[in-house]
Amino acid sequence: MIKSILALYKTQLLTFKGIGYLFTSIRLVGMNLMALLYIRQRLCPEQIAISQEGVCINYRTLYCQSQHLAMQLALHCGIKPHQKVAIMANNHAILVHTLFAVARLGADIYLLNTELSAAQVNDISNNVKFDCVIYDPDVTALPPIKNSLPTYHESQTSVYSLLTALPLAHQTKIKVTHFAKVTVLTSGTTGRFKMAGRSSKAQNFMRPFLQLLVKLKLSHYKKIYIATPIYHGFGIATLCMSVLLGATMFLTRRFEAKKSCQLIVDNQIEVVTLVPLMLNRMLTYSVDQLKSLSCIITGGAPITAMLVKQTLDQLGKVLFNLYGTSEAGVCMIATPDDLAIKPTTIGRPLKGLCAKLVAKEDKKELYIKCAWSTLGNRWVATGDLADKDAEGFYYLKGRVDDMIVSGGENVYPFELEQHLLSHLEIKDTAVISVPDTEFGQRLVAFVVLVPNSKLTETVLLGWLKSQIARYQMPKKINIIDQLPMTKIGKVDRKRLTQLYLSC
């Protein structure tokens, strides 16, 4: 408790001014995302809030521009409290303005993956019934509604044109609203998705935030690079965390290892949030350009023991591995000390969160329960298979819905991936399932070898035969230079399926 108080004091949130601005924000803008921005712009108005491609915006300017945009959106798009607004955009300053402006209007925000197919978007739209959609101009699959607005357009009305428009002659006072939802779409790239909405009530993020603040020593840092898309739960959480800390958020529209490494070294960035595959590519490109990082936060996908060892050996004890769910946000944290001993662990549950393993045939599914879950304080199935050791550390073992039946046997891609990763000459791997006329379904593996390795598919298949059961053997092993990646930094399994079918 003392550590939490000291950390909050260091961020100025737990000072007389900070507490005073909190109560003022509730009265002026309501309990929503804009309240976070109001407090921060009063505490440190000149602190840079956003840095993107050399353009910087301080917190006072971000707040004033977002308030102005809220009025323009109310006038031109008719956005009102409790309406449902879909936002499909990559990481850029206009997206951040839009998030705060829509939240100020009391509308519920739905963050959609920009890579969704037209069929997926239509399915979501039919279920949710959006009132408005705001989108990047390069997004082609949009909800079929008339009330739509691009983030930028050379000749038509856009978020950018509204943002830069002159103030309204007769400004209408915006109604103060509370507890609008921010909803993220999960698993959209697999074809199986669900919506996870989170209220802006303080108890939904303050308790886990305080534990992150202390464990990761976040109050020490002022420069955070959000590498994951903001439309992902990990990304929007980092944005909120950055505002609470009064840190500068560095944004790039798309992740590229070369540009990201250059951004970090040029600005001496201290914190980065990303998924393991992004970290892998950055370490491969340039370790030296990452030396300023004091806190690397990974999550969203399992991390390999090799990547953990490489990071700790080359950058020191800076790596934190987080596990979270759509319903509860961050659930577990593995510290650098934890990872040094147990490299693949997702850590132990946060205080106030309960976890248990429930038998599912021959595996165990992870269930969680906490007061800040969107589904209330009751047990929720995560869909993740897991194990727990004697010291209370948890380890991911794949997904429940990844299991296939091959020749009458239950087979899990994750198990094959782990066996392949135990080979000293395999740097990374991904396993997919494909239809098979004889067995119904079979596994196909894609592997990335360590530099200078001469391994072949034939040698690997021979080695595997002594490691796993016959029904677990892959139909084929493809050796490739690197795994394809989606915009959110996960392995693009659709692309791998296409690669297999094209062979």
231-270 residue pLDDT tens: 988 899 999 999 999 999 999 999 999 999 999 999 999 9
Same domain, 188 and 143: yes
Residue 191's pLDDT is 45
Same domain, 194 and 234: no
Q: Which residue has the higher pLDDT, 435 or 197?
A: 435
Same domain, 55 and 153: yes
Residue 204's pLDDT is 58
Residue 188's pLDDT is 40
Q: Which of 69, 193, 76, 182 lies closest to 132 in space, CA to CA?
A: 76
Same domain, 187 and 97: yes
Please indicate, yes or no, if residue 391 is contained in any of the structural domains. Answer: no
The dihedral sign for the CA sequence 33, 38, 44, 49: positive
> What is the rounded average pLDDT of the residues 329-348?
96
What single letter denotes the amino acid at residue 82? H
The answer to whether residues 377 and 383 touch, using CB atoms and an 8 Å cutoff, is: no
Please indicate, yes or no, if residue 432 is contained in any of the structural domains. Answer: yes
Q: Which of 21-30's residues contact partners 24+ apart within 8 Å by CB, and which partners? A: 26/178, 27/176, 28/176, 29/104, 29/176, 30/104, 30/106, 30/176, 30/177, 30/178
Residue 279's pLDDT is 97
> What is the rounded average pLDDT of the residues 339-356?
96
Report the alpha-carbon angle 359-360-364, nearest 5. Answer: 55
Q: Which residue has the higher pLDDT, 329 or 484?
A: 484
Please indicate, yes or no, if residue 369 is contained in any of the structural domains. Answer: no
Please indicate, yes or no, if residue 372 is contained in any of the structural domains. Answer: no
The answer to whether residues 372 and 329 touch, using CB atoms and an 8 Å cutoff, is: yes
Please indicate, yes or no, if residue 387 is contained in any of the structural domains. Answer: no
Domain range enclosing 77: 2-164+174-199
> What is the rounded average pLDDT of the residues 378-407?
93
Residue 383's pLDDT is 92
Cα-based torsion angle of the residue sequence 368, 405, 302, 463 in order, rounded to the nearest 10 degrees: 140
Beta strands 248-250; 223-226: pairing state:
parallel
Tokens at 337, concatenated: 């000390």
Same domain, 148 and 253: no
Please indicate, yes or no, if residue 135 is contained in any of the structural domains. Answer: yes
Q: How confident is the model at residue 372 (pLDDT cuts 50, 70, 90)?
A: confident
Helix (H) or strand (E) holding 155: none
pLDDT in tens, 2-40: 888 888 888 999 899 999 999 999 999 999 999 999 999
Please indicate, yes or no, if residue 66 is contained in any of the structural domains. Answer: yes
Residue 371's pLDDT is 85
Residue 451's pLDDT is 93
Q: Which residue has the higher pLDDT, 386 or 169?
A: 386
Residue 135's pLDDT is 97
Q: Which residues contact 245 (CB under 8 A, 6 or more apart)?
A: 11, 218, 219, 221, 222, 224
Same domain, 38 and 178: yes
> What is the rounded average pLDDT of the residues 286-305?
95
Distance CA 285, CA 307 (A): 14
Least trusted range by pLDDT, from 150-159, 185-194, 454-463: 185-194
**Bridge partner residues of 435 (DSSP):** 441
Residue 202's pLDDT is 52
Residue 289's pLDDT is 98
Asked whether the predicted pLDDT for residue 170 surpasses 80, the reply is no
| Angular region, 122: left φ>0, alpha ψ -120 to 50, beta rest | alpha
Strands (E), 292-406: 295-298, 319-325, 329-334, 345-349, 353-360, 363-370, 380-388, 394-399, 404-406
Same domain, 304 and 268: yes
Please indicate, yes or no, if residue 366 is contained in any of the structural domains. Answer: no
Asked whether the predicted pLDDT for residue 272 surpasses 50, the reply is yes
To the nearest 5 percent, what fractions of the chain are helix, strand and coil? 35, 25, 35
Same domain, 189 and 256: no
Asked which of 352, 372, 389 is the last residue of a domain, the reply is 352
Q: How confident is the model at residue 189 (pLDDT cuts 50, 70, 90)?
A: very low
* % of the chain beyond a pLDDT of 90: 78
Q: How far apart are the first and last CA of the chain?
A: 58
Q: Which of 449-455's residues contact partners 24+ apart within 8 Å by CB, and which partners? A: 449/425, 449/479, 450/424, 450/425, 450/426, 453/425, 455/423, 455/425, 455/426, 455/479
* % of the chain beyond a pLDDT of 70: 95
Q: Which residue has the higher pLDDT, 198 or 435?
A: 435
Asked which of 352, 367, 389 is the last residue of a domain, the reply is 352
Least trusted range by pLDDT, from 130-139, 171-180, 407-416: 171-180
CA distances from 89 to 230, 235, 252, 465 (A): 9, 12, 12, 46
Cα-based torsion angle of the residue sequence 91, 95, 96, 102 in order, rounded to the nearest 10 degrees: -150
Tokens at 187, concatenated: 């698993």
Asked whether the predicted pLDDT for residue 194 surpasses 60, the reply is no
Q: How many CA atoms lie within 13 A of 309 on its CB side?
A: 7
Tokens at 138, concatenated: 């390069």
Asked whether the predicted pLDDT for residue 465 surpasses 80, the reply is yes
The most distant pair of C-alpha atoms in the chain lies apart, rounded to whole Å, by 77
Q: Tell me if residue 107 falls in helix, strand or coil.
A: coil
pLDDT in tens, 66-103: 999 999 999 999 999 999 999 999 999 999 999 999 99
User: Please, where are the H alpha helices in 29-86?
Assistant: 33-43, 59-76
Q: What is the CATH number of the domain that holds 442?
A: 3.30.300.30
The answer to whether residues 436 and 406 touch, using CB atoms and an 8 Å cutoff, is: yes
Distance CA 86, CA 186 (A): 14
Burial 257-282 (b: 16+ CB within 10 A, else e): beebbebbbeeebbbbbbbbbbbbbb
Same domain, 419 and 293: no
> What is the rounded average pLDDT of the residues 393-405?
92
Same domain, 184 and 41: yes
Q: What is the CATH number of the domain that holds 125?
A: 3.40.50.12780
Number of domains within the chain = 3
Q: How many CA atoms lie within 13 A of 124 on its CB side?
A: 33
Q: What is the mean pLDDT of the chain?
A: 92
The answer to whether residues 86 and 112 touch, using CB atoms and an 8 Å cutoff, is: yes
| Angular region, 362: left φ>0, alpha ψ -120 to 50, beta rest | alpha
Same domain, 133 and 239: no
Residue 8's pLDDT is 85
Same domain, 257 and 194: no
> What is the rounded average pLDDT of the residues 154-179?
88
Residue 190's pLDDT is 42
Asked whether the predicted pLDDT for residue 140 surpasses 60, the reply is yes
